[in-house]
Amino acid sequence: MVQAGEWNPNKKNMELITVCHGAFVIQDTMKVSDWIAIVNIVVTTLVGLWIGISVRRNFTINRAVKDYFILECLEIKKGYSNFLNCLYQNSKSSKSIIEWLKIMTIKIDIFEEFLKEEFKVNPQVLKTHNKLKQYITETEEFNDNYKSPNFELTPTIKKNIIEIHEGFSKELTKIVIEINKASKSNNWKKKKK
């Protein structure tokens, strides 16, 4: 006789048999439509997870890369505006202009190199920058004022610089648009495996 609270090995075995029997009953009674519904739920769940994890992660990474390049564009644009403001105020010497132009050449060159590498774009920013560099440093006024602490721009030089700068700004804007348009499947380079 088994008393209440005591362990009954026979009772445990009875419960196990009941559960197993129940599972057999479920399998026996399931139809094809039920299986389709289960597969549907599983697939939907997996796709949801994939979108949630993988696509979202890729989107975030791609957006971050695009934002980085766009930020660089804005930095160059800002640097150029500051430089030209100083130039218009006649507060730059010929020597400092040469130094700044060289630093900017290297900066834009590296930027364009990575831009070409990462996106399939053909930037013309460096070409425009070089045009400005050559124009400023070949003027008679620039050379005549070489020893002077300030390079004074004539109205003609100012007018020509404004024209070149306009082209420069347009090129930068084009790049920002092209970066934003770029997609992995279209013109953004595919990752090397």
The piece of 17-25, 52-60, 69-77, 129-137 that touches another protein (CB under 8 A) is 129-137
**Residue 152 binds another protein, judged by CB under 8 A:** no
Which of 13, 91, 143, 150 lies at the binding interface for another protein (CB under 8 A)? 143
Q: Which of 88, 94, 91 is nearest to 161 (CA)?
A: 88
* Residue 138 CB, nearest approach to another protein (Å): 4
Which of 34, 67, 75, 144 lies at the binding interface for another protein (CB under 8 A)? 144
Which of 76, 133, 153, 172 lies at the binding interface for another protein (CB under 8 A)? 133
The whole-angstrom separation of Cα 175 and Cα 172 is: 5
CB 164 within 8 Å of CB 135: yes
Closer CB to another protein, residue 67 or residue 99?
A: 99
Length of the chain: 193
Q: How far is CA 72 from CA 11, 29, 98, 115, 171, in A?
A: 75, 65, 22, 10, 13
* Residue 95 CB, nearest approach to another protein (Å): 6
Give the number of other CB atoms < 10 A from CB of residue 72.
Answer: 19
**Residue 92 binds another protein, judged by CB under 8 A:** no
Token pair of 46 as six digits? 């997996």
The whole-angstrom separation of Cα 111 and Cα 107 is: 6
* Residue 91 CB, nearest approach to another protein (Å): 19
CB 128 within 8 Å of CB 168: yes
Give the number of other CB atoms < 10 A from CB of residue 71.
Answer: 10
The whole-angstrom separation of Cα 109 and Cα 38 is: 57
The piece of 12-20, 75-83, 144-152, 165-173 that touches another protein (CB under 8 A) is 144-152
* Residue 129 CB, nearest approach to another protein (Å): 9
Which of 50, 68, 114, 146 lies at the binding interface for another protein (CB under 8 A)? 146
**Residue 117 binds another protein, judged by CB under 8 A:** no
Q: Which positions touch another protein (CB under 8 A)?
A: 94-95, 98-99, 101-102, 105-106, 109, 126, 130, 133-135, 137-138, 142-144, 146-147
